[in-house]
Structure 1
Amino acid sequence: MTQHRLSNVEVGQNYLAKELDSFVSTTDVVVLSNNESQLFTDPERQYKVVDVFEGFFEHSAEDGEKYFREKKAYIVEKV
Structure 2
Amino acid sequence: MSKPGLNTLKKGTQYPARDLDSFVSTTEAVVLSTNDNDLFTDPDRHYVVTHEFNGFFEHSADNGEKYYREKKAYVVEKA
TM over 0.5: yes
What is the CA–CA distance in structure 2 between the aligned matches of 1:64 and 1:3, rounded to whole Å?
Answer: 40
TM normalised by structure 2 equals: 0.92
**TM-score using structure 1 length:** 0.92
1:5-50 deviation digits (Å, cap 9, x = unpaired): 3112111000000000011111000000001111001000000001
User: CA–CA distance in 2 between the matches of 1:43 and 1:65?
Assistant: 38
Q: Which residue of 2 aligns with 1:64?
A: 64
In structure 1, the residue matched to 2:78 is 78
> What residue identity is the alignment partner of 2:73?
A
Let me know the Cα RMSD of the aligned residues.
1.5
Distance 1:5 1:21 in 2: 11
Assess if the C-alpha contact under 8 Å between 1:33 and 1:75 holds in 2.
yes
Where in structure 1 are there 5+ consecutive unaligned residues? none
For the 8 Å contact 1:4–1:18, the answer to whether it is kept is: no
Unaligned runs of 5+ in 2: none
Number of residue pairs the alignment of both structures matches: 78
- After superposition, where does 1:1-79 map in structure 2 within 5 Å? 4-79=4-79
**2-structure distance, mates of 1:17, 1:64:** 35
Stretch deviating more after TM superposition (5-14 or 50-59): 5-14
Residue 3 of structure 1, CA deviation:
7.5
Name the % identity: 59
